[in-house]
Structure 1
Amino acid sequence: MRREVDLVVPVKTLDRAKTRLLGAADHGLGDPTAHAALALALALDTITAATKAVRQVVAVTSDPAVVAELRALGIESLPGPDGLNPALHHAAAVLRTRDPHSVIGALQADLPALKPDDLTAALEAAADQRAFCPDRQGTGTTLLLSAPGHPLSPHFGLGSAEAHQASGAIPLLGPWHSLRTDVDTPEDLTLATTLGLGPRTSALLPVCH
């Protein structure tokens, strides 16, 4: 069931995204085209899964290729300022003008195994409180939620889980493995594969392995 939540997903330009995965798409060759295809697949699988659990997903990106792919899927994208937190502030402000009372969330774009049921469970556990879901290491943040009608107040970056908790967000610690498994390294990609990748990332597996 879709929740009345609007999610923002920041997507870097494909040439700057997921640099630690360079070579994962082509047996270590590091071809920029193959890498861009993998970075795009991660984001599109994440966004597509999220659309099944929330009212709306809006991407923040300045990459024309990402914008075109999202448009084909009927997903809105917004330009934003440089920097993750400023981009999230900007997008959240745009969404807040559309619905002053909504829950706004920020979801990382590297969750290719994301299951809509896991996202739904986390949203329900938040119970309209400002909350965050830490990554599987417990140091980063994969999902941040505002309270209804209140600011998102993102603090992404090194040690974001601690920063979000210190800012008053409650941690969401349920067994939502697909929501907590972000992909930064080839090892992360292997782990996400065991959870079941989305179709776009999965389609690259014959050239990833």
Structure 2
Amino acid sequence: MRTEGEIATNTDPTGPWSLVVPLKPLARAKSRLGRAVGGALRPRLALAFAQDTVSAALACPAVRDVVVVTDDPVAGAALAALGARTVADTPAAGLDAAMEHGARAVRARRGGAAVAVLNADLPALRPDELARVLEFSAAFPRAFVPDAQGIGTTFLSATPGAELRPAFGGASRARHLASGAVEVSLPDIASVRGDVDTGVDLRAALVLGVGRFTAALTAPVAPVVDR
């Protein structure tokens, strides 16, 4: 678990980046993880992952605000309590559409915003690693971070004037490269790459050190091998 000193409140209201975090209804989120932790714990972990992700993002000095795109009232209330703004999702349209919807909501209020989308399942996210990713990304119209397996994507950014053009799901790293987005090649950003879909992923996140919400649920639980 991270120590309290590793997360400080973001007191700079002029941070340039707005982050969009899409989140499925908890009843459907993290379905693959259920094979490792069980059906009762799965939705609670999905919310804890999102809470730790949003908490770390809001603690990053380069982040101005966080917009969560969700239709889940429980998750929306919990994340709003942390300081995020929530906007309603359009579930039938899919993940990419939710990300675009969130980006439009940001730019409707602040037309010149630099926007990044971030997966909601990064329970080990470190504010300092996110800050380094955002600093790197500011030099390019679009940039992305591949997941720990080097197949998917956990982060995609668009600087002012650039369209987000998300292509998440499956082999999204290749699609984002083909679209012209620059891959963030920084060392030591494992917490930004560490999304959790399976029990193996959860064990890896626990090794990195998860935030307080995930730690509270996983302390008494040892994830079993994925079945």
Deviations 1:57-78 (A, max 9, x none): 1100000110111222232110
Specify the SS of the correspondent of 1:208: coil
Which residue is 1:60 aligned to? 69
Alignment root-mean-square deviation, CA:
1.4
Task: Give the whole-Å Cα distance in 1 for the aligned partners of 2:219 and 2:89.
Answer: 35
Deviations 1:92-143 (A, max 9, x none): 1111121221111100001000000000001111134110011111111110
Q: Name the amino acid aligned to 1:134.
A: P
Specify the SS of the correspondent of 1:68: helix
Of 103, 107, 111, the residue aligned with 1:96 is 107
Where do 5+ consecutive residues of structure 1 fail to align?
Answer: none
Specify the SS of the correspondent of 2:156: strand
TM-score, with structure 1 as normaliser:
0.93
1:155 aligns with 2:167: yes
Kept in 1, the 8 Å contact 2:54–2:82? The answer is no
Of 68, 71, 88, the residue aligned with 1:79 is 88
Q: CA deviation at 1:207?
A: 3.3
Task: Give the whole-Å Cα distance in 2 for the aligned partners of 1:58 and 1:208.
Answer: 31
Task: Give the whole-Å Cα distance in 1 for the aligned partners of 2:211 and 2:22.
Answer: 18
Specify the SS of the correspondent of 1:131: strand
Of 178, 191, 199, the residue aligned with 2:204 is 191
Of 113, 116, 128, the residue aligned with 1:105 is 116
Task: Give the whole-Å Cα distance in 1 for the aligned partners of 2:44 and 2:65.
Answer: 24
Where do 5+ consecutive residues of structure 2 fail to align?
Answer: 1-9, 223-227
- Aligned identity (percent) is 46
Kept in 2, the 8 Å contact 1:133–1:172? The answer is yes
